[in-house]
Chains A and B, each alone.
Chain A
Amino acid sequence: MRYITPRKAAQGLGSAHSGTADHWFLTVSSCALVLLVPAFLLVVGNAIGLSHPELVAYFGRPYPALITALFIVVGMVHFIKGTRIMIDDYFQHTARKVAIIVSVVFSWAVIAAAVFALAKMTLVTVAI
């Protein structure tokens, strides 16, 4: 017998035993995004209107590439967690599982596409 109340035993643990990890992740990533949002808007604002070779050279530079990569990776993982809250609110049973899987798979596909594009532009620029 454990001399501990049921409330104490459950405190800090969700049904998945991960407690407030999702909330904490959203807090940490939101702090990062507060810095990344203005930086990303500046990077994109400077990129729109460039010719094709100029654009490839622009995203081949470290600052635009890193800001864009960080914004999309952190932003999309933040999106997974945020969407999860919405899904938990509105969907039940199989629909919930399907929605979570679609959200996670879609977000990582977006991340992969963006990172691939940025990596290729960086390497093309280096090759020149």
Chain B
Amino acid sequence: MADVNRGNRPLSPHLQVYRLPMAAVTSIMTRITGHALVAGILLLVWWLVAAVSGPRAFAAADWVVRSWIGFIVLTGSAWALWFHTLAGIRHLFYDSGQLLRIEEAERASWAIIIGSVVLTLLSLILFFFA
């Protein structure tokens, strides 16, 4: 143990220097979006309960829903919902033994990311202009 080489050893791959494959990134995002959706659900259920609780309760909840806070939470939730939905559809493909090759999984990952953004923008356009 006297002459241990402490400075010149190869480094093992570590999370901080390891570039995650896109399939891993989107898999982690699926879990995060699924759990984060609780924020949007809570806001909407509070809004529904307030609507049957009385005019003052509804005024408060409706103000939050229509404020910039509500806009951020609901737009974020819409994106999380679309992302989680598309990733869930990919899981149905995975379960049937498809999209499991590395290139396919990589392409499906980008499809989920781009698709979720496009569908969220479409949802916003539909909400504001239709």
Contacts and interface: CB of A to CB of B under 8 A. Distances in A.
Nearest to B124: A45
Contact of B85 (A37, A56, A82, A83): A37
Interface string B12-50: 000000000000000000010011011001101100110
A74 B89 CA distance: 16
Interface string A57-100: 00100000000100010011001001100100000000000000
B103 to A, nearest CB: 25
Interface in A112-127: 113-114, 116-118, 120-121, 124
Interface string A9-47: 000000000000000000100110110010001001100
A44 B95 CA distance: 31
The number of chain A residues touching the other chain, given as a range, is: 20 to 34
The number of chain B residues touching the other chain, given as a range, is: 20 to 34
Contacts of B44: 44
A128 to B, nearest CB: 14
B38 A79 contact: yes
Interface of B: 31, 34-35, 37-38, 41-42, 44-45, 48-49, 51-52, 55, 58-59, 62, 65-66, 74, 78, 81-82, 85, 88-89, 91-92, 95, 123, 126-127
12 contacts: A27-B92, A37-B81, A41-B123, A45-B123, A52-B58, A52-B59, A59-B48, A68-B48, A72-B41, A79-B37, A86-B31, A121-B51
Interface of A: 27, 30-31, 33-34, 37, 41, 44-45, 48-49, 52, 55-56, 59, 68, 72, 75-76, 79, 82-83, 86, 110, 113-114, 116-118, 120-121, 124
